């Protein structure tokens, strides 16, 4: 019985995929738009997004950025963080002014920074100097990457929580110069902000 259900599931999935390959790109994109935000339709939204990405040459730059962002979001919502990251990064590469994936990556990496910070505190610097340096270098690299994402988000959609996170990252690194120049960087980054990827 289990094998029959599994076989049926894969047959339906393959049929849907084959149909998506034959379907007009405008119709496929429209169908994707109808399900991408529906929590009950996540599996279908993922399937349609993947089918669209396989036909990426037929999409506009904005559509491609939209599909990558939402596929990343769908994976993140399902707890598949590692699968989400490349789609968020691709969305940023395609549509660099769209700040929402910057925020998503910034918040995800901020959690990792907090975890690395806890590990760093547990290392006795006087006993394990090399381990401490390695852990600190890893934390510094991730903190700078995280701050970059959060700063773009903050520049386009300011809020106190994000600003506080940015400040904590630089304070933990004892980077006073970065702290004092936040406003200048945010002003420069705010020049290219896209709120919605309209289709």
Tens digits of per-residue pLDDT, 64-117? 999 999 999 999 999 999 999 999 999 999 999 999 999 999 999 999 999 999
Q: Are 101 and 88 in contact (CB under 8 A)?
A: yes
For the segment 8-18, the average pLDDT, to the nearest whole number, is 54
If asked whether residues 91 and 112 sit together in one domain, one would say no
Q: Which residue among 60, 95, 130 closes a domain? A: 95
Which domain range does residue 110 map to?
A: 98-194
Q: Which residue among 95, 123, 147 closes a domain? A: 95
pLDDT band at 198 (very low <50, low <70, confident <90, very high): confident
Residue 16: how many CA atoms within 13 Å on its side-chain side? 18
What is the structure's pLDDT at 174? 93
If asked whether residues 83 and 120 sit together in one domain, one would say no
What is the structure's pLDDT at 175? 96
Q: Which residue among 60, 79, 95 closes a domain? A: 95
Provide the token pair at 121.
């505190």
What is the structure's pLDDT at 20? 46
Q: Which residue's structure tokens are 């903050």? A: 154
The sign one gets for the Cα dihedral 197, 32, 150, 143 is negative
Does residue 199 form part of some domain?
no
What is the structure's pLDDT at 12? 52
For the segment 21-50, the average pLDDT, to the nearest whole number, is 91
If asked whether residues 91 and 119 sit together in one domain, one would say no
If asked whether residues 89 and 108 sit together in one domain, one would say no
Count CB atoms within 10 A of the CB of residue 164: 11
Does residue 170 form part of some domain?
yes
Domain count, the chain: 2
Whole-prediction pTM? 0.83
If asked whether residues 4 and 91 sit together in one domain, one would say yes
Alpha helix segments (H runs only) across the chain: 2-22, 25-35, 42-53, 61-77, 81-94, 100-122, 129-156, 160-172, 176-180, 182-189
For the segment 166-179, the average pLDDT, to the nearest whole number, is 96
If asked whether residues 62 and 10 sit together in one domain, one would say yes
194 phi, psi to nearest 5 deg: -115, 120
User: Residue 141: which of 164, 162, 163, 120 has the closest Cα?
Assistant: 120
If asked whether residues 25 and 44 sit together in one domain, one would say yes
**Tens digits of per-residue pLDDT, 106-130?**
999 999 999 999 998 898 877 888 8
């Amino acid at each position: 019985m289990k094998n029959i259900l599994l076989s049926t599931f894969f047959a339906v999935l393959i049929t849907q995929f084959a149909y998506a390959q034959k379907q007009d790109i405008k119709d496929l994109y429209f169908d994707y738009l109808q399900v991408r935000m529906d929590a009950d339709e996540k599996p279908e939204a993922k399937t349609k997004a993947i089918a669209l990405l396989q036909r990426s040459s037929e999409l506009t730059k904005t559509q491609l950025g939209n599909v990558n962002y939402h596929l990343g979001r769908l994976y993140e919502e399902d707890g598949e963080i590692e699968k989400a990251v490349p789609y968020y990064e691709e969305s940023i590469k395609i549509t660099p002014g769209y700040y929402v994936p910057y925020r998503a990556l910034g918040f995800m990496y901020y959690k990792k920074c907090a975890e690395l910070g806890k590990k760093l505190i547990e290392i006795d610097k006087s006993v394990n100097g090399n381990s401490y340096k390695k852990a600190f270098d890893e934390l510094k690299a991730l903190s700078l990457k995280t701050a970059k994402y959060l700063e773009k988000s903050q520049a386009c959609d300011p809020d106190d929580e994000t600003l506080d996170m940015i400040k904590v990252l630089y304070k933990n690194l004892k980077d006073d110069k970065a702290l004092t120049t936040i406003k200048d960087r945010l002003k420069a980054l705010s020049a290219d902000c896209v709120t919605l990827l309209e289709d």
